[in-house]
Protein backbone atom coordinates (compact mmCIF):
# COMPACT_ATOMS: atom_id res chain seq x y z
CA UNK A 1 0.00 0.00 0.00
CA UNK A 2 1.42 3.35 -1.10
CA UNK A 3 2.27 5.76 1.74
CA UNK A 4 2.46 2.83 4.17
CA UNK A 5 4.96 0.23 2.92
CA UNK A 6 7.80 2.66 2.29
CA UNK A 7 7.44 4.01 5.85
CA UNK A 8 7.85 0.52 7.34
CA UNK A 9 11.15 -0.18 5.57
CA UNK A 10 13.10 -1.89 8.37
CA UNK A 11 16.50 -1.06 6.90
CA UNK A 12 15.67 2.62 6.64
CA UNK A 13 14.24 2.64 10.18
CA UNK A 14 17.41 0.99 11.57
CA UNK A 15 19.66 3.44 9.76
CA UNK A 16 17.66 6.35 11.11
CA UNK A 17 17.98 4.93 14.62
CA UNK A 18 21.75 4.72 14.09
CA UNK A 19 21.70 8.37 13.17
CA UNK A 20 19.83 9.10 16.42
CA UNK A 21 22.56 7.17 18.31
CA UNK A 22 25.17 9.25 16.58
CA UNK A 23 23.36 12.47 17.47
CA UNK A 24 22.69 12.05 21.20
CA UNK A 25 25.33 12.79 23.81
CA UNK A 26 23.11 12.99 26.89
CA UNK A 27 19.69 11.81 28.14
CA UNK A 28 16.55 13.42 26.76
CA UNK A 29 12.87 12.93 27.63
CA UNK A 30 10.51 13.17 24.68
CA UNK A 31 6.73 12.92 24.84
CA UNK A 32 4.64 11.61 21.98
CA UNK A 33 1.30 13.35 22.42
CA UNK A 34 -0.83 10.95 20.50
CA UNK A 35 -1.97 7.53 21.69
CA UNK A 36 -1.86 6.29 18.11
CA UNK A 37 1.87 6.97 18.19
CA UNK A 38 2.24 5.29 21.60
CA UNK A 39 0.61 2.23 20.13
CA UNK A 40 2.85 2.25 17.03
CA UNK A 41 6.00 2.75 19.16
CA UNK A 42 5.24 -0.22 21.41
CA UNK A 43 3.84 -2.41 18.63
CA UNK A 44 6.92 -2.01 16.45
CA UNK A 45 9.24 -2.25 19.46
CA UNK A 46 10.79 1.16 18.77
CA UNK A 47 11.03 1.85 22.52
CA UNK A 48 13.36 -1.16 22.80
CA UNK A 49 15.74 -0.30 19.99
CA UNK A 50 16.26 3.40 20.60
CA UNK A 51 19.48 4.44 22.32
CA UNK A 52 19.11 4.52 26.13
CA UNK A 53 19.57 8.29 26.11
CA UNK A 54 16.13 8.72 24.53
CA UNK A 55 13.26 8.16 26.96
CA UNK A 56 9.78 8.27 25.48
CA UNK A 57 6.93 9.18 27.81
CA UNK A 58 3.38 8.83 26.67
CA UNK A 59 1.04 11.76 26.37
CA UNK A 60 -2.65 12.40 26.92
CA UNK A 61 -3.67 12.03 23.27
CA UNK A 62 -6.06 9.16 23.73
CA UNK A 63 -9.61 10.46 23.40
CA UNK A 64 -11.38 7.66 25.23
CA UNK A 65 -8.80 7.90 28.04
CA UNK A 66 -9.45 11.56 28.82
CA UNK A 67 -13.24 11.70 28.37
CA UNK A 68 -14.33 12.70 31.90
CA UNK A 69 -15.93 10.04 34.07
CA UNK A 70 -19.02 12.23 34.72
CA UNK A 71 -19.66 12.27 31.00
CA UNK A 72 -19.16 8.52 30.64
CA UNK A 73 -21.68 8.07 33.48
CA UNK A 74 -24.04 10.49 31.77
CA UNK A 75 -23.70 8.57 28.50
CA UNK A 76 -24.49 5.33 30.32
CA UNK A 77 -27.62 6.86 31.86
CA UNK A 78 -28.80 8.27 28.51
CA UNK A 79 -28.09 5.00 26.70
CA UNK A 80 -30.25 3.10 29.19
CA UNK A 81 -33.32 5.30 28.57
CA UNK A 82 -36.27 3.72 26.75
CA UNK A 83 -36.80 4.67 23.10
CA UNK A 84 -33.12 5.46 22.74
CA UNK A 85 -30.54 4.42 20.15
CA UNK A 86 -27.13 5.34 21.56
CA UNK A 87 -24.33 5.47 19.01
CA UNK A 88 -20.61 5.66 19.64
CA UNK A 89 -17.15 4.97 18.27
CA UNK A 90 -16.33 1.36 19.12
CA UNK A 91 -13.58 2.12 21.64
CA UNK A 92 -16.01 3.78 24.04
CA UNK A 93 -18.04 0.63 24.69
CA UNK A 94 -15.64 -0.91 27.19
CA UNK A 95 -14.63 2.31 28.94
CA UNK A 96 -15.46 1.85 32.61
CA UNK A 97 -17.95 4.28 34.13
CA UNK A 98 -18.43 4.39 37.88
CA UNK A 99 -20.55 1.23 37.95
CA UNK A 100 -20.65 -0.26 34.44
CA UNK A 101 -19.86 0.30 30.75
CA UNK A 102 -21.84 0.69 27.52
CA UNK A 103 -21.45 -3.02 26.79
CA UNK A 104 -23.34 -3.90 29.93
CA UNK A 105 -26.06 -1.36 29.04
CA UNK A 106 -26.39 -3.23 25.75
CA UNK A 107 -26.38 -6.62 27.51
CA UNK A 108 -29.27 -5.34 29.63
CA UNK A 109 -31.38 -4.54 26.57
CA UNK A 110 -30.17 -1.05 25.67
CA UNK A 111 -29.85 -0.24 21.97
CA UNK A 112 -26.17 0.71 21.81
CA UNK A 113 -24.63 0.75 18.34
CA UNK A 114 -21.08 1.19 17.14
CA UNK A 115 -20.66 3.51 14.19
CA UNK A 116 -17.57 4.05 12.07
CA UNK A 117 -18.49 7.62 11.11
CA UNK A 118 -20.82 10.10 12.85
CA UNK A 119 -22.66 10.38 9.53
CA UNK A 120 -23.75 6.76 10.12
CA UNK A 121 -25.46 7.96 13.31
CA UNK A 122 -27.28 10.64 11.28
CA UNK A 123 -28.45 7.89 8.88
CA UNK A 124 -29.74 5.86 11.82
CA UNK A 125 -31.72 8.92 12.99
CA UNK A 126 -33.18 9.33 9.48
CA UNK A 127 -34.24 5.68 9.42
CA UNK A 128 -35.74 5.72 12.93
CA UNK A 129 -37.90 8.86 13.23
CA UNK A 130 -39.79 7.41 16.23
CA UNK A 131 -36.57 6.96 18.25
CA UNK A 132 -34.11 9.37 19.84
CA UNK A 133 -30.62 8.92 18.43
CA UNK A 134 -27.63 10.21 20.42
CA UNK A 135 -24.06 10.19 19.16
CA UNK A 136 -21.23 10.25 21.73
CA UNK A 137 -19.11 12.96 20.07
CA UNK A 138 -15.76 12.57 21.77
CA UNK A 139 -12.25 13.18 20.58
CA UNK A 140 -9.50 15.62 19.77
CA UNK A 141 -9.17 17.99 16.81
CA UNK A 142 -9.07 14.94 14.53
CA UNK A 143 -12.68 13.84 15.07
CA UNK A 144 -14.06 17.39 15.42
CA UNK A 145 -14.53 17.97 11.66
CA UNK A 146 -16.54 14.75 11.40
CA UNK A 147 -18.56 15.36 14.56
CA UNK A 148 -19.30 18.98 13.58
CA UNK A 149 -20.43 17.91 10.11
CA UNK A 150 -22.88 15.39 11.59
CA UNK A 151 -24.61 18.26 13.42
CA UNK A 152 -24.73 20.44 10.29
CA UNK A 153 -26.05 17.52 8.27
CA UNK A 154 -28.75 16.67 10.84
CA UNK A 155 -29.80 20.32 10.77
CA UNK A 156 -29.83 20.43 6.95
CA UNK A 157 -31.97 17.30 6.88
CA UNK A 158 -34.38 18.81 9.43
CA UNK A 159 -33.88 15.97 11.92
CA UNK A 160 -35.36 16.59 15.37
CA UNK A 161 -34.44 13.19 16.87
CA UNK A 162 -30.65 13.51 16.58
CA UNK A 163 -28.34 14.95 19.21
CA UNK A 164 -24.72 14.74 20.26
CA UNK A 165 -23.11 14.28 23.67
CA UNK A 166 -20.01 16.39 23.16
CA UNK A 167 -16.67 15.93 24.91
CA UNK A 168 -14.08 17.57 22.73
CA UNK A 169 -10.56 18.29 23.90
CA UNK A 170 -7.68 20.12 22.24
CA UNK A 171 -3.97 19.34 22.22
CA UNK A 172 -2.21 22.72 22.61
CA UNK A 173 -3.80 23.57 26.02
CA UNK A 174 -2.74 20.13 27.29
CA UNK A 175 0.83 20.78 26.15
CA UNK A 176 0.69 24.09 28.04
CA UNK A 177 -0.52 22.28 31.14
CA UNK A 178 2.19 19.61 30.93
CA UNK A 179 5.06 22.01 30.24
CA UNK A 180 3.85 24.47 32.87
CA UNK A 181 3.60 21.84 35.61
CA UNK A 182 6.17 21.91 38.42
CA UNK A 183 6.70 18.16 37.91
CA UNK A 184 7.27 18.35 34.18
CA UNK A 185 9.98 16.06 32.75
CA UNK A 186 9.25 16.58 29.06
CA UNK A 187 12.08 18.25 27.11
CA UNK A 188 10.74 17.81 23.59
CA UNK A 189 7.44 16.95 21.95
CA UNK A 190 6.42 14.79 19.04
CA UNK A 191 3.24 16.62 18.05
CA UNK A 192 0.29 14.55 16.83
CA UNK A 193 0.39 14.38 13.03
CA UNK A 194 -3.29 14.09 12.32
CA UNK A 195 -4.29 16.79 14.80
CA UNK A 196 -1.92 19.02 12.84
CA UNK A 197 -3.37 17.78 9.51
CA UNK A 198 -6.62 19.42 10.65
CA UNK A 199 -5.36 22.41 12.68
CA UNK A 200 -1.97 23.09 11.11
CA UNK A 201 0.90 23.90 13.47
CA UNK A 202 0.69 27.68 13.71
CA UNK A 203 -0.37 27.32 17.37
CA UNK A 204 2.96 25.72 18.34
CA UNK A 205 5.74 28.28 17.80
CA UNK A 206 4.65 30.41 20.81
CA UNK A 207 4.52 27.25 22.95
CA UNK A 208 8.00 26.18 21.84
CA UNK A 209 9.30 29.70 22.57
CA UNK A 210 7.63 30.09 25.95
CA UNK A 211 8.85 26.78 27.35
CA UNK A 212 12.11 26.60 25.33
CA UNK A 213 11.00 23.21 23.99
CA UNK A 214 11.44 21.78 20.49
CA UNK A 215 8.23 20.46 18.92
CA UNK A 216 8.27 18.15 15.90
CA UNK A 217 5.10 17.36 13.96
CA UNK A 218 5.29 13.57 13.58
CA UNK A 219 3.42 10.87 11.67
CA UNK A 220 2.43 7.35 12.63
CA UNK A 221 4.50 4.82 10.69
CA UNK A 222 7.80 3.58 12.23
CA UNK A 223 9.87 5.65 9.84
CA UNK A 224 7.81 8.76 10.60
CA UNK A 225 8.31 8.26 14.32
CA UNK A 226 12.08 7.72 14.24
CA UNK A 227 12.37 10.66 11.89
CA UNK A 228 10.45 12.81 14.40
CA UNK A 229 12.71 11.60 17.21
CA UNK A 230 15.81 12.34 15.15
CA UNK A 231 14.63 15.88 14.40
CA UNK A 232 13.84 16.50 18.10
CA UNK A 233 17.17 15.03 19.21
CA UNK A 234 19.09 17.21 16.77
CA UNK A 235 17.33 20.34 18.02
CA UNK A 236 17.88 19.42 21.67
CA UNK A 237 21.56 18.64 21.16
CA UNK A 238 22.05 21.91 19.28
CA UNK A 239 20.15 23.88 21.92
CA UNK A 240 17.61 24.95 19.33
CA UNK A 241 14.03 25.86 20.08
CA UNK A 242 11.26 25.84 17.49
CA UNK A 243 8.82 23.77 15.49
CA UNK A 244 9.67 21.36 12.68
CA UNK A 245 7.37 19.39 10.43
CA UNK A 246 8.46 15.77 9.94
CA UNK A 247 5.11 14.77 8.42
CA UNK A 248 5.07 17.05 5.40
CA UNK A 249 3.09 14.71 3.17
CA UNK A 250 -0.04 15.16 5.32
CA UNK A 251 0.50 18.39 7.26
CA UNK A 252 0.79 22.02 6.21
CA UNK A 253 1.44 25.04 8.45
CA UNK A 254 -2.14 26.29 7.98
CA UNK A 255 -3.83 22.90 8.24
CA UNK A 256 -7.20 22.15 6.70
CA UNK A 257 -8.97 25.51 6.46
CA UNK A 258 -12.28 23.99 5.32
CA UNK A 259 -12.35 21.74 8.37
CA UNK A 260 -11.34 24.57 10.72
CA UNK A 261 -14.20 26.71 9.36
CA UNK A 262 -16.82 24.03 10.06
CA UNK A 263 -15.41 23.39 13.54
CA UNK A 264 -15.63 27.13 14.29
CA UNK A 265 -19.18 27.27 12.97
CA UNK A 266 -20.43 24.47 15.24
CA UNK A 267 -18.18 24.56 18.32
CA UNK A 268 -16.89 27.20 20.73
CA UNK A 269 -14.00 27.02 23.20
CA UNK A 270 -14.84 25.78 26.71
CA UNK A 271 -13.08 24.73 29.90
CA UNK A 272 -12.80 20.94 29.97
CA UNK A 273 -12.10 18.33 32.56
CA UNK A 274 -9.68 15.59 31.46
CA UNK A 275 -10.16 12.21 33.06
CA UNK A 276 -7.44 11.57 35.62
CA UNK A 277 -5.83 14.94 34.96
CA UNK A 278 -8.47 17.45 36.04
CA UNK A 279 -9.71 20.78 34.73
CA UNK A 280 -7.66 22.46 32.02
CA UNK A 281 -8.92 25.97 31.21
CA UNK A 282 -10.14 26.60 27.66
CA UNK A 283 -8.98 23.13 26.63
CA UNK A 284 -11.95 21.88 24.63
CA UNK A 285 -14.99 22.59 22.57
CA UNK A 286 -18.73 22.54 23.19
CA UNK A 287 -21.69 23.23 20.91
CA UNK A 288 -22.44 26.86 20.11
CA UNK A 289 -25.82 28.13 21.43
CA UNK A 290 -27.16 28.14 17.84
CA UNK A 291 -26.98 24.33 17.94
CA UNK A 292 -28.45 23.89 21.44
CA UNK A 293 -31.29 21.79 19.99
CA UNK A 294 -28.68 19.14 19.14
CA UNK A 295 -27.13 19.06 22.62
CA UNK A 296 -27.83 15.72 24.33
CA UNK A 297 -26.45 17.09 27.60
CA UNK A 298 -29.38 19.46 28.10
CA UNK A 299 -31.92 17.40 26.19
CA UNK A 300 -31.90 14.39 28.53
CA UNK A 301 -32.28 14.72 32.26
CA UNK A 302 -30.54 11.84 33.95
CA UNK A 303 -30.65 13.17 37.50
CA UNK A 304 -27.69 13.50 39.79
CA UNK A 305 -24.45 11.76 38.85
CA UNK A 306 -21.85 10.84 41.47
CA UNK A 307 -18.80 9.69 39.58
CA UNK A 308 -16.19 7.69 41.44
CA UNK A 309 -12.88 6.61 39.94
CA UNK A 310 -11.14 3.39 40.95
CA UNK A 311 -8.79 4.32 43.83
CA UNK A 312 -6.09 2.08 42.33
CA UNK A 313 -5.87 3.77 38.95
CA UNK A 314 -2.88 6.07 38.27
CA UNK A 315 -3.86 6.75 34.65
CA UNK A 316 -3.85 10.51 35.25
CA UNK A 317 -0.12 10.43 36.08
CA UNK A 318 0.59 8.17 33.11
CA UNK A 319 -1.23 10.57 30.78
CA UNK A 320 0.96 13.42 32.01
CA UNK A 321 4.17 11.49 31.43
CA UNK A 322 4.95 11.19 35.15
CA UNK A 323 4.63 7.39 35.48
CA UNK A 324 4.62 4.33 33.20
CA UNK A 325 1.88 1.68 33.11
CA UNK A 326 4.06 -0.96 34.81
CA UNK A 327 4.43 1.43 37.76
CA UNK A 328 0.75 0.83 38.54
CA UNK A 329 0.23 -1.93 41.14
CA UNK A 330 -3.02 -2.95 39.44
CA UNK A 331 -1.43 -3.31 35.99
CA UNK A 332 -1.98 -6.83 34.64
CA UNK A 333 -3.25 -7.98 38.06
CA UNK A 334 -6.54 -6.30 38.95
CA UNK A 335 -6.60 -4.38 35.71
CA UNK A 336 -6.51 -6.11 32.30
CA UNK A 337 -8.16 -5.36 28.95
CA UNK A 338 -10.92 -7.85 29.89
CA UNK A 339 -11.49 -6.14 33.26
CA UNK A 340 -10.21 -2.59 32.90
CA UNK A 341 -10.18 -0.33 35.96
CA UNK A 342 -9.18 2.72 33.96
CA UNK A 343 -9.81 3.95 30.43
CA UNK A 344 -6.13 3.74 29.45
CA UNK A 345 -6.44 -0.08 29.65
CA UNK A 346 -9.29 -0.05 27.11
CA UNK A 347 -8.51 1.78 23.95
CA UNK A 348 -5.91 0.64 21.43
CA UNK A 349 -4.40 4.08 21.98
CA UNK A 350 -4.27 3.82 25.76
CA UNK A 351 -0.75 3.37 27.13
CA UNK A 352 -1.78 0.66 29.62
CA UNK A 353 -3.49 -1.39 26.88
CA UNK A 354 -0.46 -1.04 24.57
CA UNK A 355 1.96 -2.06 27.33
CA UNK A 356 -0.22 -5.03 28.25
CA UNK A 357 -0.72 -6.22 24.70
CA UNK A 358 2.94 -6.02 23.73
CA UNK A 359 4.41 -7.41 26.92
CA UNK A 360 5.91 -4.33 28.61
CA UNK A 361 5.11 -5.71 32.05
CA UNK A 362 8.33 -4.60 33.68
CA UNK A 363 10.70 -1.71 33.30
CA UNK A 364 13.73 -2.34 31.06
CA UNK A 365 12.46 -5.60 29.63
CA UNK A 366 14.90 -7.01 27.10
CA UNK A 367 13.76 -6.69 23.49
CA UNK A 368 11.47 -9.60 22.69
CA UNK A 369 10.41 -8.61 19.23
CA UNK A 370 11.39 -5.87 16.85
CA UNK B 1 -10.61 5.10 16.75
CA UNK B 2 -8.12 7.89 16.41
CA UNK B 3 -6.10 6.23 13.69
CA UNK B 4 -6.09 8.06 10.38
CA UNK B 5 -5.36 5.75 7.48
CA UNK B 6 -4.16 6.66 3.96
CA UNK B 7 -6.41 5.59 1.10
CA UNK B 8 -6.89 6.31 -2.58
CA UNK B 9 -10.01 8.02 -3.92
CA UNK B 10 -11.55 5.76 -6.59
CA UNK B 11 -14.92 7.53 -7.01
CA UNK B 12 -16.50 10.90 -6.12
CA UNK B 13 -20.24 11.55 -5.90
CA UNK B 14 -22.86 13.31 -3.78
CA UNK B 15 -25.24 11.98 -1.10
CA UNK B 16 -27.83 14.25 0.58
CA UNK B 17 -25.88 17.29 -0.58
CA UNK B 18 -22.54 16.07 0.83
CA UNK B 19 -19.53 15.23 -1.36
CA UNK B 20 -18.73 11.57 -0.73
CA UNK B 21 -16.31 9.08 -2.25
CA UNK B 22 -15.17 5.49 -2.44
CA UNK B 23 -11.76 5.02 -0.86
CA UNK B 24 -9.47 2.09 -1.59
CA UNK B 25 -7.36 1.04 1.41
CA UNK B 26 -5.07 -1.41 -0.37
CA UNK B 27 -7.93 -3.65 -1.50
CA UNK B 28 -10.67 -2.80 1.00
CA UNK B 29 -13.06 -0.16 -0.31
CA UNK B 30 -15.12 2.04 2.03
CA UNK B 31 -17.15 5.20 1.74
CA UNK B 32 -15.88 8.49 3.17
CA UNK B 33 -16.99 12.11 3.20
CA UNK B 34 -14.82 14.34 0.97
CA UNK B 35 -16.22 17.72 2.10
CA UNK B 36 -12.86 18.72 3.61
CA UNK B 37 -10.72 17.92 0.57
CA UNK B 38 -12.51 19.83 -2.20
CA UNK B 39 -9.27 19.90 -4.21
CA UNK B 40 -8.82 16.10 -4.22
CA UNK B 41 -9.94 14.03 -7.20
CA UNK B 42 -10.07 10.40 -8.25
CA UNK B 43 -6.57 8.92 -8.00
CA UNK B 44 -5.47 11.20 -5.14
CA UNK B 45 -4.47 9.80 -1.76
CA UNK B 46 -6.01 11.19 1.42
CA UNK B 47 -5.84 10.48 5.14
CA UNK B 48 -9.22 9.09 6.22
CA UNK B 49 -10.30 9.51 9.80
CA UNK B 50 -13.68 8.36 11.23
CA UNK B 51 -15.16 8.36 7.73
CA UNK B 52 -13.83 11.77 6.68
CA UNK B 53 -10.89 12.72 4.49
CA UNK B 54 -8.94 15.22 6.59
CA UNK B 55 -5.90 15.80 4.38
CA UNK B 56 -4.75 15.20 0.82
CA UNK B 57 -1.35 13.52 0.78
CA UNK B 58 1.36 15.36 -1.11
CA UNK B 59 3.50 13.18 -3.36
CA UNK B 60 6.21 15.87 -3.58
CA UNK B 61 6.50 16.18 0.19
CA UNK B 62 6.55 12.40 0.56
CA UNK B 63 9.42 12.12 -1.93
CA UNK B 64 11.31 14.99 -0.30
CA UNK B 65 11.15 13.24 3.10
CA UNK B 66 12.39 9.91 1.76
CA UNK B 67 15.15 11.69 -0.16
CA UNK B 68 16.27 13.48 2.99
CA UNK B 69 16.48 10.19 4.92
CA UNK B 70 18.34 8.44 2.12
CA UNK B 71 20.86 11.27 2.16
CA UNK B 72 21.47 10.72 5.86
CA UNK B 73 22.13 7.07 5.16
CA UNK B 74 24.49 7.75 2.30
CA UNK B 75 26.37 10.12 4.51
CA UNK B 76 26.69 7.38 7.08
CA UNK B 77 28.04 4.99 4.45
CA UNK B 78 30.61 7.52 3.36
CA UNK B 79 31.95 8.37 6.80
CA UNK B 80 31.40 4.96 8.39
CA UNK B 81 29.20 3.86 11.29
CA UNK B 82 28.94 5.86 14.47
CA UNK B 83 31.36 4.61 17.14
CA UNK B 84 31.31 7.64 19.32
CA UNK B 85 33.81 9.10 16.86
CA UNK B 86 31.96 12.38 16.76
S1 LIG C 1 -3.11 -0.40 34.72
FE2 LIG C 1 -5.34 -0.04 34.94
S3 LIG C 1 -5.58 0.78 37.00
FE4 LIG C 1 -3.40 1.00 36.46
S5 LIG C 1 -3.23 3.03 35.56
FE6 LIG C 1 -3.58 1.61 33.85
S7 LIG C 1 -5.81 1.68 33.58
FE8 LIG C 1 -5.44 2.55 35.61
Q: Which atom of ligand 1 is nearest to the CA of A315?
A: 5
The whole-angstrom distance between residue A203's C-alpha and the CA centroid of its chain comes to 18
Q: Which domains does chain A have, with CATH numbers?
A: 1-357 (3.40.50.11740)
| SS3 at position A67 | coil
Over residues A100-128, the pLDDT tens digits come to 999 999 999 999 999 999 999 999 999 99
Question: Is A352 a pocket residue for ligand 1 (Cβ < 6 Å)?
Answer: yes
Q: A39 CA to middle of ligand 1, Å?
A: 16
Q: Does domain B5-78 have CATH number 2.30.30.140?
A: yes
- The contacts of residue A72 (CB under 8 Å, 6+ apart) are A92, A95, A96, A97, A275, A307, A343
Question: Is A314 a pocket residue for ligand 1 (Cβ < 6 Å)?
Answer: yes
Nearest CA in chain B to A230: B69
pTM: 0.92
Interchain proximity B65–A249, CB inside 8 Å: yes
Q: What's the rounded Cα separation, in Å, for the pair A108 and A328?
A: 32
Interchain proximity A117–B50, CB inside 8 Å: yes
- For chain A positions 126-155, those within 8 Å of chain B (CB to CB) are 139-140, 142-143, 145-146, 149, 153
Residues pairing with A134 in the sheet: A86, A163
Question: Is A65 a pocket residue for ligand 1 (Cβ < 6 Å)?
Answer: no
Over residues A83-103, the pLDDT tens digits come to 999 999 998 999 999 999 999
Chains A, B: CB pairs < 8 Å: 145
Side-chain half-sphere of A25: how many Cα atoms within 13 Å? 9
| SS3 at position A37 | helix
CA trace torsion A280, A283, A286, A288 (10° rounding): 120
In chain B, residues with a C-beta closer than 8 Å to the C-beta of A63 are 1-2
Over residues A222-274, the pLDDT tens digits come to 999 999 999 999 999 999 999 999 999 999 999 999 999 999 999 999 999 99
Q: A139 CA to middle of ligand 1, Å?
A: 20
In chain B, where are the structural domains located?
5-78
- Segment among A67-76, A205-214, B70-79 with least mean pLDDT: B70-79
Report ipTM for this prediction: 0.91
Question: Is A54 a pocket residue for ligand 1 (Cβ < 6 Å)?
Answer: no
What is each CA distance from A133 to A53, A111, A146, A338, in whole angstroms?
51, 10, 17, 28
The whole-angstrom distance between residue A201's C-alpha and the CA centroid of its chain comes to 17
Q: Which atom of ligand 1 is nearest to the CA of A317?
A: 5
Amino acid sequence: MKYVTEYRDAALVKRTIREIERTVTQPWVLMEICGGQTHAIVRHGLDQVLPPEIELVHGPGCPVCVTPLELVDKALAIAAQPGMIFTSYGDMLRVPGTARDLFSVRANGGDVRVVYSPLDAVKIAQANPDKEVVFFAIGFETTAPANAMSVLQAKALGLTNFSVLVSHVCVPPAMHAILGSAHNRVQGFLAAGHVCAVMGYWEYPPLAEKYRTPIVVTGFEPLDIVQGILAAARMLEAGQVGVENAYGRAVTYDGNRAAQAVIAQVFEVRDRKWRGVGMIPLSGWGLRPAFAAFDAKTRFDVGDIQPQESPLCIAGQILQGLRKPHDCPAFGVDCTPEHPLGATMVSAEGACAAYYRYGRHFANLEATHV
Amino acid sequence: MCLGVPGKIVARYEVDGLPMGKIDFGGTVREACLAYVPEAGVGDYTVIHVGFAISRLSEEEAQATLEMLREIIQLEEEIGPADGAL
